[in-house]
Amino acid sequence: MAYCWSCFSARWHCTCNVNIYSRKELIVMKRLFYFIFLIALLVMAFPALAQQDTNLITLDDATPAIDVVITLPPDATGTISLDLALAAVRLTDSNGEIVFAAADERLHGLEFNIAPNSGTHTLTVERLPGVEKAYVSVVSLPEMSIGGTVEFVSANAITLNEETTLSLDANNPGGTVSVEIPTETIGVITATFPGASATTQLVDSNGVLLAESTGGHVDGLTFVLDGGSYSFTVLGSNLTETVISGVRSVSVVDSGFAVIEVPDSSTETVVNVSTSVCTATITASAVNLRSGPGTGYSVLGYAYRGESYPVGGQNQEKNWIVIGTQDGNSAWVSLSVAQMQGSCDTLTVFDIPTQNNAPAQITITEVGSNQEISRQQAIQIAEAAYPGTRAVDVKQEYERGLLVWEVKLSNRMEVYIDAVTGEIVYQKNKNDDKEHDDDREHDDDHDDDHHEDDD
């Protein structure tokens, strides 16, 4: 059975040191899911150069791919930055359509800026075909990283430390810029095209497609590439005014990006799965499986007493754990209803806020809230019938098969009010003759067998 873990961070941001797994923690997984909610005011996350080897995710037979679900607030943008080695990337929209894809061993890093109001996206990173191991690190940024200094040139061909622009409008919606990165050099190409709702392509001098975006879901791209000759093409759609697209190129040294140093496979530690897995056994009759740590997150399903699940991490407070479920997904469960066994001392700690629901707001109302008048309403009706009096006793009972409020007033009048309609059905002075019995067990003032001693 395949299991996967989820970094659920609804209404939160992930910093550079979040959502990173070691091979030891990934070895029992077949697929790894990350959930990142980007917000407009992220705390400043370091660019890709700040990533450390301990943050690398190894893609292999145990973990062949990772998924990152990205949701933006209305009118907001956000940037995803990736360091790559031998990995392929694709971005799909909420309908599962591919809106960006990149796959080439010459590609060492990527940044893409998601256009506002373009919906939820899923980023998938997997190994290139025929590759045994690939490596990736993922970071969310408030905006694209722009490093190095460039000189503006009025041409459609640039090299390192140069920038040019394309003017796009309804009559000329597209353009191409050639970029030359010297051999034995790693360069960074950045293209921005906000508002163009564009389709883009990056190809080499032989016409080999390295990356492509469609549908206007992405409005900025950065590529970290080996030396070579490349062409970047942008084609806007539904242009009602002029849009300026910028294309620039700098060396990786000037940009601040770092190239992943692939770990030496000869020094990698092989982990014995049977002795390293941490599991959790449910100790309560039935428990909620949630989308995040805390009762404030949605319920995804249920687990039952005696069931055991592999554990992939815990929250900062160490009172919720994320488990792999039998359907291949993952969920969070409270440690108060689970018992952990195995190697659980080095669980990954997720920087996800624990969100608990506030106690339910309970409003106590008078009887009558179910389309019935309340006790206070009955008092008001009775007192209005006899101005200057006050209620001295109020009770609800069945009388002659009718649910009524019996209101005794200070003038010794007893007013009987229909509990549904609010109408006064009858009224009497306490000294009046008793009404006939209603055959109910309860002895009230209108029963034939009632005595004054019973009052």
Is 44's pLDDT higher than 80? no
Answer yes or no: are the C-beta atoms of 173 and 237 closer than 8 Å.
yes
pLDDT, tens only, 397-417: 887 778 899 999 988 899 999
Mean pLDDT in residue range 58-62: 85
How high does pLDDT run on average in the chain?
A: 78
**For the residues 157-164, what does the mean pLDDT come to?**
96
Tell me how far apart the alpha carbons of residues 342 and 335 are, in angstroms, rounded to a whole number.
15
- Give 336-357 pLDDT, tens digit per residue: 999 999 889 888 888 788 888 7
pLDDT band at 300 (very low <50, low <70, confident <90, very high): confident
Please give the residue that has the higher pLDDT: either 351 or 279: 279
Are 198 and 235 a contacting pair, CB within 8 Å?
yes
Residue 448 has pLDDT above 80, yes or no: no
Note the pLDDT of residue 371: 63
Tell me if the domain spanning 375-454 has CATH number 3.10.450.40.
yes
In this predicted structure, the answer to whether residue 126 has a pLDDT above a threshold of 90 is yes
Q: Which residues contact 345 (CB under 8 A, 6 or more apart)?
A: none
Least confident of 38-42, 73-77, 254-258, 432-436: 38-42
DSSP-derived 3-state class of residue 109: strand
Could you tell me the pTM of the whole model?
0.53
Residues of the chain with CATH 2.60.120.380: 6-267
> How much is the pLDDT for 358?
60
Range scoring the smallest mean pLDDT among 123-127, 330-334, 408-412, 441-445: 441-445
Does residue 28 have a pLDDT over 60?
Answer: no
Q: Which two tokens stand for residue 112?
A: 């893409």
Tell which CATH classification among 2.60.120.380, 3.40.30.10, 3.40.50.9100, 3.30.70.890 matches the domain 6-267: 2.60.120.380
Q: Which residues of the chain are in CATH 2.30.30.40 domains?
A: 277-350
3-state secondary structure of 50: helix
Of residues 109 and 446, more confidently modeled: 109
CATH topology of domain 277-350: SH3 type barrels. (2.30.30)
What integer pLDDT is reported at residue 190 of this predicted model?
96
Q: Which positions ≥6 away from 237 have C-beta within 8 Å?
A: 173, 196, 197, 198, 199, 216
**What residue ranges of the chain are covered by domains with CATH 3.10.450.40?**
375-454
CA atoms within 13 A on the CB side of 320: 26
Give the model's confidence band at 76: pLDDT under 50 very low, under 70 low, under 90 confident, else very high: confident
Q: Which three-class secondary structure state does DSSP give residue 25?
A: helix
Task: Give the containing element (helix H, strand E) for 183.
Answer: strand 174-192
